[in-house]
Structures are given as structure tokens and as C-alpha cells.
Amino acid sequence: MALLYPIIGQWFSRPSGTLFEVVAIDDDDHTIEIQQFDGTIDEVDEENWPDLLLTEVSAPEDWSGSVDMDPEDFVSSNNNEMPVGYHNPLAFLDNL
């Protein structure tokens, strides 16, 4: 099996079927930050990366896994139109 190198933005699958994306590589700490499909952020040591038995995969078409929204939030009740403010990604953040 060929060694798959971590590349920021690349998606991988573990043998269990868990999907994740490489979101950062820290050369100083020798770690790789990953974000699982459900939004969980994790860190992997570079020395442990080859032991993960990964498969390179395409990004999932259903991007909603890491977003805390119900399916009915994606469209409005009027003719399947996008909700107001949908095109502004900051519109869904909580105001502090």
C-alpha cells in the first residue's frame, strides 16, 4: 500500500468509514489537524500518520455534516427558495 501524504484540503477515509479532511499541517509541532465529517477537530502526530491505513477520497457531496442545521433549514417553505441571508456565510453565526 502506498503512503498517502497529508495535503490541506484533501479528504481521507479510515477503514471504519469515517471521513475527514486535512485542515492544517503544523511543521513546528509535527502534527496534522483534521476535521471529521461531523465537524470534530482532531490532531494526528506525523509519525502516526502512516499507521492510519487511509484511503484518499473525494469531498462528500453532502457538506452538511459539519454544519448544525436541519434539512428544512436549507430551503424556505416557498418554492424551495434559499432562505434570506443564505448567501452570507456569517448570517448563521450566533451574535455575541
Model confidence at 82: pLDDT above 60: no
Q: How far apart are alpha carbons 50 and 40 in whole angstroms?
A: 21
- The pLDDT assigned to 2 comes to 63
- The pLDDT assigned to 37 comes to 85
When pLDDT is averaged across residues 82-86 and rounded to a whole number, the result is 53
How many C-beta atoms lie closer than 10 Å to residue 54's C-beta?
19
Residue 66 three-state SS: helix
| CATH number of the domain to which 37 belongs | 2.30.30
pLDDT in tens, 15-60: 998 899 999 999 999 999 999 888 889 999 999 999 998 999 998 8
Residue 68 lies in a domain: no
Residue 63 three-state SS: helix
Residue 42 lies in a domain: yes
- The pLDDT assigned to 66 comes to 54
Residue 47 lies in a domain: yes
- Total domains present in the chain: 1
Q: How far apart are alpha carbons 46 and 27 in whole angstroms?
A: 9
Split at pLDDT 50, 70, 90, the class of 4 is confident
- The pLDDT assigned to 87 comes to 59
Q: Among residues 44, 40, 62, 61, which one has the least CA distance to residue 53?
A: 44
This model's pTM is above 0.75: no
Tallying the residues shown for the chain, one arrives at 96
